[in-house]
Structure 1
Amino acid sequence: MKRLWRQRLKQHAKGQFKYLQLVFNDHFVLVLVILLGALLYGYSQVVKTLTASWWLAPAMALVFSVLLALGRLATLTEPADATFLLPKSAEFSQYLFKARRYSLLLPCVVLIFATIAALPLLPVLKLSVLTAALPLGVALLLFKDSDLWLQLLAFYPQRVPRWCRRELLLGVAFLALWAGFWWHPAIALAAALVIDLSLRWRLGDLLAAAELMWVPLIAAESRRMGRIYRFYNLFTDVPGLGGGVKRRRYLDGLAKLVPRGLPHTWQWLFVRGFLRRTEFFGLYLRLVVIGALVIALVDQWWLVALLAALFTYMIGFQLLPLYQVYDEIVLTYLYPLPQPQKPQAFKHLLAVLLVIAAVVLAGGAVVSGHFLAAAGALAAGLIVAVLVAWWYLPIRLAKLAAR
């Protein structure tokens, strides 16, 4: 099992590195550096204005509890394992222990950086940085260690008692962190240590003679990798990543805005494809809403404009695969349609969607009362929308035609 884990981990790392090279290219890294610098500057300005209010301790506890909830158990299992490894179910726990240890790496890095980011807030809470930082960091790591144990035990449900639930752990972590920020993080450390040691002490009894639930295990890993690949799909095409088709009757009115007839055939198809294919419509809504919320929390006009431009570009890039969804339908080749109609129809749809996204993103700044930032966001979003629809899209379509 240890050798199988090493082989799976090597293959997984190789595949992830290929996509990470495409995601973190020079342009995106430059944007991230600029955003990080702006966020750090904004965070430093906010910290200077904070006082010891009653809401600060529960708010920090809530933020850290959300961070603890991030990070799923990465098992790297495959659908065929349920058949070929079924006789090795008793020994497969060694594989899962390795997977749990690997799954700790990224969450621990995130929690350590979050602890460092919280250091300026400790004096606001009348806590000493020298005596409070270390207990806070260790408590977070212990809570995450317990969380991953509970995620592993969830696939052995026969012997797991009701108190071994992830939701209960996160609730206890929130209360312990709240008390820790109110008095001292040593309280959170003590609670985390008791929970982690109790789980490790009962681990042998909980796993003894318990049957591994292969189907939920493989399904959970498939969902986890699906989320990762959907993130990669924001920046590059991921082979085999697709979605379903769902008719949304409440959007039929929008679909009817495009008239039927020969001059509007491709436009009619693209509008319905966007509204009914889950991988486009859902992601478009999520990016627009998340972008508007992020912009609403920022007050520097130049940072708002930069965020609006970034989100508009990401939305446009994500919609580009919509152009190819009908390529494998033979009727689109048999029906006599003018050749320039398809790219023109897609350009029109993309421009309309990006303009709507730019307006909604600017609305996030309007809601927060930053009208100058809203004007900058609208201008930046519209400029990016024009560049994507009338400059970048023809280049991309020319490359597709040359294949």
Structure 2
Amino acid sequence: MRKLWQTRLRRHQKTQFKYLRLVFNDHFVLILLILFGALLYGYSQWVRQLMPSWWLRPALALVLTALLSFGRLASLSEPADATFLLPQTSSFAQYLFKARRYSLLLPSVVLALGAAASVPLLLVLNIDPLSGGITLGALLLIFKDLDLWLQLIEHYGVQRPAWVSRFPLFVAAFASLTLGLFLHPAYGMIIALALDLGFRWVVLAGHFQPATLDWLSLNASEAKRMDRLYRFYNLFTDVPGLNSGVHRRKWLDIFLPLVRKTPAHTWAYLYLRGFLRQTTYLGLWVRLVIVGAVVLALIQVWWLAALVAGLLVYLVGFQLLPLAFAYSEMVMARLYPVPASQQRAAFQHLTAVLLVVFALVLTAGPLALGHWVVALWAGAGALLVAVLFAFWYLPYRLRKKPLMPA
């Protein structure tokens, strides 16, 4: 099993590195660096104005608890395992133990960064930053270790109390974090350590049976995890064999009458409906507008807000480009009795509207905090980039690659 795990891990890492090189290209890294710098600057300015309040401790505990949900068990299992490795079900537990340890690496980095970002808030709460930051990070890592154990035994027929599941774990983590932020994170760390050791002793040592593995559940969980990962990669490059999800979303049909159902608006209606129904594009647009509004709410420098808003609009527009070619392989689209120029104009118009609306919604963040000047400059910068992208950069890109290949 050790050799099998090492072989699959090397193959998995090789595939991930191939896609990561495409995701973190020069443009995206530059945007991330600017956004990260802007976020740090805005965060530092926000912390300086904070006063110890009753809501600060539970709010920080809630954010850190949400970070605990990041990271799933990476078993790297394959559908054929249920057939060819069935006689090795008992020994396969050792394989999954190695997978659980590997799955802890990336969440550990995220949680360590979350603990480090919480250190300035510990100063506001009159907690020693050195001991508080270290014990807070240890608290989060222990709870994540317990979370991965729970994800592992979900695929086994383990007899455990009803309260031993992920939701009660997050409730316990929130309570421990809140208590630790009121007293000291060391108290929360002791509670987390007691829960982790108690789980290993009561559940794993007493009821764990390696021969009760549910192969179908394990394979379905791994397929779902990899699907989410590849959908993220698909925002930046084409992933073979991956199809975008489509949902009906009847509540969004109120936007469809904005485009008339006439031959002159055939492609406009098709692109709008595709944007509303495909999970890739609508979900990306909504997530980025929420994150962007929060980031701009933390920035109090007008020129920095304008720069960040413009970068966010460019990033959204760049990620919408694949939608233009979503119907290039659809045979019936070639039979539409409409000129080819209509398709290009329809996508350009939709992109312009989406980017302008995106730019206006971004200003809701600073406006909610009464930063009128910042909101004005952020909106101006975002609108400028939206216009340049829709009416200059987009036509240039569409000329280089035809929407309907010959």
Normalized against structure 2, the TM-score is what?
0.90
Whether contact under 8 Å (2:51, 2:124) holds in the other structure is yes
State the partner residue of 1:224.
225
Q: 1:279-325: CA deviations, max 9, x gaps?
A: 33333333333333433343332333233223222222222222222
Whether contact under 8 Å (1:308, 1:381) holds in the other structure is yes
The count of residues paired between Structure 1 and Structure 2 equals 403
Whether contact under 8 Å (2:34, 2:308) holds in the other structure is no
State the partner residue of 1:171.
171
Superposition deviation, residue 363 in structure 1 = 2.9
The aligned amino acid for 1:144 is K
Superposition deviation, residue 130 in structure 1 = 4.1
The aligned amino acid for 2:375 is A
Gap change, CA 1:48 and 1:92, over 3 Å in 2: same
Q: Structure 1: where are the runs of 5+ without partners? A: none
Moved more, 124-133 or 184-193: 124-133
Q: Counterparts in 2 of 1:47-66, with a 5 A limit?
A: 47-66=47-66
Per chain length, whose mean CA-contact separation is higher, i.e. which structure has more relative contact order (CA < 8 Å, sep 6+)?
Answer: 2
Cα distance in 1 for partners of 2:285, 2:12 equals: 29
Superposition deviation, residue 96 in structure 1 = 1.0
Superposition deviation, residue 253 in structure 1 = 4.2
Superposition deviation, residue 227 in structure 1 = 2.4
The aligned amino acid for 1:400 is K
Moved more, 95-104 or 163-172: 163-172
Q: Does residue 327 of structure 2 align to residue 321 of structure 1?
A: no
Cα distance in 2 for partners of 1:250, 1:19 equals: 35
State the partner residue of 1:183.
183
Q: 1:65-116: CA deviations, max 9, x gaps?
A: 2222222111122333333333322222111111110111111112222222
State the partner residue of 2:376.
375
Whether contact under 8 Å (1:362, 1:375) holds in the other structure is yes
- Secondary structure at the residue paired with 1:122? helix
Moved more, 100-109 or 76-85: 76-85
State the partner residue of 2:273.
272
Whether contact under 8 Å (2:320, 2:351) holds in the other structure is yes
Cα distance in 1 for partners of 2:295, 2:151 equals: 30
State the partner residue of 1:13.
13
Gap change, CA 1:160 and 1:87, over 3 Å in 2: farther
State the partner residue of 1:25.
25
Whether contact under 8 Å (1:74, 1:99) holds in the other structure is yes
Q: Name segments (4+ residues, structure 1) moved above 4 Å.
A: none
Cα distance in 2 for partners of 1:388, 1:367 equals: 27
Q: Does residue 208 of structure 2 align to residue 204 of structure 1?
A: no
Q: Does residue 98 of structure 2 align to residue 98 of structure 1?
A: yes
Cα distance in 2 for partners of 1:281, 1:45 equals: 32
Superposition deviation, residue 209 in structure 1 = 5.4
Cα distance in 2 for partners of 1:352, 1:389 equals: 9
The aligned amino acid for 1:92 is F
Cα distance in 2 for partners of 1:147, 1:255 equals: 43
Cα distance in 2 for partners of 1:198, 1:328 equals: 56
**% identical equivalent positions:** 55
Whether contact under 8 Å (1:159, 1:210) holds in the other structure is no
State the partner residue of 2:395.
394
State the partner residue of 2:133.
133
Cα distance in 2 for partners of 1:283, 1:238 equals: 17
Normalized against structure 1, the TM-score is what?
0.91
Moved more, 377-386 or 131-140: 131-140
Cα distance in 2 for partners of 1:123, 1:364 equals: 26
Gap change, CA 1:305 and 1:85, over 3 Å in 2: farther
Superposition deviation, residue 210 in structure 1 = 5.2
Cα distance in 2 for partners of 1:48, 1:98 equals: 44
Gap change, CA 1:384 and 1:78, over 3 Å in 2: farther
Whether contact under 8 Å (1:242, 1:279) holds in the other structure is no
State the partner residue of 1:294.
295
State the partner residue of 1:237.
238
Whether contact under 8 Å (2:244, 2:278) holds in the other structure is yes
Q: 1:350-387: CA deviations, max 9, x gaps?
A: 11111111111123332332222222222222222223
Superposition deviation, residue 266 in structure 1 = 2.0
Gap change, CA 1:79 and 1:395, over 3 Å in 2: farther
Gap change, CA 1:74 and 1:367, over 3 Å in 2: same
- Secondary structure at the residue paired with 1:340? helix
Superposition deviation, residue 333 in structure 1 = 1.8
Cα distance in 1 for partners of 2:362, 2:308 equals: 9
Gap change, CA 1:311 and 1:130, over 3 Å in 2: closer
